[in-house]
Amino acid sequence: MSTMDYADPVAGTAEGVALEMPEARRPLHRLAMVRKRQGVSRRTMARRLKTDVRRVRAQEEETSDLTLSTLYEWQRALEVPVAELLVESYDPLSSPVLKRAQMVRLMKTAKAILVRAHETPIRRMAQMLIEQLLDVMPELEEVHPWHAVGQRRTQDEVGQAAVRRVSADWFQGGD
């Protein structure tokens, strides 16, 4: 067992609080928490990382020991500082990251309303909301609307099944 002293600036910020836990169970990162706060599904994360959902789920285990390159891939995909992905303490995410996540969700909703609205007044209000959000945070320009539930792929879009190779032995009930 190790003792994590929260007065240590590396381990955390609360003074005088010590926490004992086995090395194997100590959280190393908070990928899942940041992903959820950003409003990103595991499937979308897998697409961004060019991997499958099982690997995303395994990497999100807070006790999984990840390489730096993996952390930087997550950092680029979620567009957050890499420090936000690491466990420094058991405090919630920093205020700027929480505010950004809220703004991203607002922009996703506003763009979804604009895309799905058929009435001109509602489309105008959605466009005005988008413009106001961009005044506050210009980098939200790149945010896309929420995906529709059950959205079908077009014939131009290819899923992972089309990319994976299957051995000819598999079709013959290979040994």
Q: What is the pLDDT of residues 52-110, one digit of tens each?
A: 999 999 999 988 889 999 999 999 999 888 888 887 655 566 778 888 888 999 999 99
The pLDDT tens digits of the residues spanning 141-166 come to: 988 898 765 555 565 655 555 566 66
The pLDDT assigned to 161 comes to 56
The pLDDT assigned to 122 comes to 94
18 vs 26, higher pLDDT: 26
> Which among 42, 77, 43, 88 has a CA at the least distance from the CA of 61?
42
The pLDDT assigned to 149 comes to 58
Model-wide pTM > 0.85? no
Burial of 51 (0-12, 13-18, 19+ CB in 10 A): middle
Full DSSP string of 58-111: HHHSTT----HHHHHHHHHHHTS-GGGGB-SSSSPPPHHHHHHHHHHHHHHHHH
Q: Alpha-carbon distance 100 to 70, whole Å?
A: 23
Phi, psi of 96 (to 5 degrees): -60, -40
Q: Alpha-carbon distance 70 to 79, whole Å?
A: 14
The pLDDT tens digits of the residues spanning 23-53 come to: 557 788 889 999 998 889 999 999 999 999 9
Q: Alpha-carbon distance 165 to 58, whole Å?
A: 23
13 C-beta neighbours (distance < 10 Å), count? 13
The pLDDT assigned to 31 comes to 93
Per the structure block, which two tokens stand in for 96? 């700027």
The pLDDT assigned to 9 comes to 36
